[in-house]
Amino acid sequence: MARIRDRTEDFKDAVRQGALSLGYDESKLAAILASFIIHKPQQKSSFTKAALKTLESIGALEQFMLKHRKDYVDVHRTTEQERDSIEHEVGSFIKACKEQIDILKNSINDEDANSKGWLGIRGDNNADTIAHKHGVVLILSERLHSVTAQFDQLRAIRFQDAINRKIPRRKLNLVAKSNSTDIPKSNDSELREPDRLQPEPLRVQQQLLDDETRALQVELTSLLDAVQETETKMVEMSALNHLMSTHVLQQAQQIEILYEQAVKATTNVELGNKELSQAIQRNSSSRTFLLLFLFVLTFSILFLDWYN
């Protein structure tokens, strides 16, 4: 048995000599060998870059909410204008993230429409890629929904505090109204005796002024109550509007899941059609074989009968 000899070094020397004869120097050879050992990172697609950018935006939104959580909830730390500005910035963040997710969905739909052939059938690799992209979009939507749910909780706390502050103020206004109605009565009783000494025109003028003052007090009190009721209703409408947008996002996610299930069902139908076509071919081939077998068997029986 012949001894086995390692010729790897001889092969490397032969390759080096051939490269040098072709004009390669040592630096180029080292770069080529390094490229074989350390592969270059694969270039990311535009979809992957956009998805990573959207994920970074959602992460920045979450960090912003954690940073300004106490400022938004605590009444004594910031004013109403500052809390409104925080809410506006969070709403702008959420809107930008939703727009980026919609752009990703539209790009997937365009790619899906362009990948189909003239018979409406697409390849398995392309279908897997599109399903993967749909999964990425669904993960981003769920991440954004979790962040918006956290902000909904903060808004609910703020609105509840605002409602709790409005209810005692309304009670104080009712008490003030009752006191304002009692005070003019006492003033009238106190001023009756001096009014007897006053002339008749002055007493009539004083009575008219008192009536106008009472009417203005009642009107201002009713306007204040109406303004407070309108403010409370606007706060409730804002909360309901945000909740409705959250439910719309949930419905969009459910529609996305239904679309993925429809894609899977379409793939299963295509596979079923292929299996049916293969079964039909097997049935036709087996039928042909059976007919040929019967023909040969009949001819053999006739031949044996003739031979006998």
Backbone Cα Rg of the chain = 42
- For 22, 54, 89, 295, the CA distances from 308, given in Å and listed in that order, are 85, 90, 104, 20
| Burial (Cβ within 10 Å: 0-12, 13-18, ≥19) of residue 283 | exposed
The predicted structure's pLDDT at residue 155:
81
Pick from 183, 182, 144, 167: which is nearest to 62 by CA? 144
CA distance 63 to 56: 10
Q: How many CA atoms lie within 13 A of 92 on its CB side?
A: 7
The predicted structure's pLDDT at residue 195:
47
CA distance 83 to 90: 11
Pick from 144, 139, 96: which is nearest to 249 by CA? 144
Pick from 93, 182, 193, 186: which is nearest to 143 by CA? 93
The predicted structure's pLDDT at residue 186:
47
The predicted structure's pLDDT at residue 56:
92
Q: Which domains does the chain have, with CATH numbers?
A: 46-261 (1.20.58)
| Ranges of H-type helices in the chain | 8-21, 26-37, 46-67, 69-73, 80-115, 124-197, 200-307
Q: Per-residue pLDDT for the chain (308 aa), expressed as one digit of tens each?
A: 456 778 888 877 887 788 788 888 778 877 777 776 666 666 778 888 889 999 999 999 889 888 888 888 777 777 878 888 888 888 888 888 888 998 988 888 888 777 665 445 555 557 788 888 888 888 998 888 888 888 888 888 877 777 777 665 555 555 455 555 555 444 445 444 444 444 566 777 777 778 788 888 888 888 888 887 887 777 778 777 777 777 777 787 788 788 888 888 888 888 888 888 888 888 888 888 888 888 888 888 888 888 87
- For 94, 205, 265, the CA distances from 195, given in Å and listed in that order, are 69, 11, 94
Task: Report if pTM > 0.75.
Answer: no
Location of structure tokens 């087996």: 286
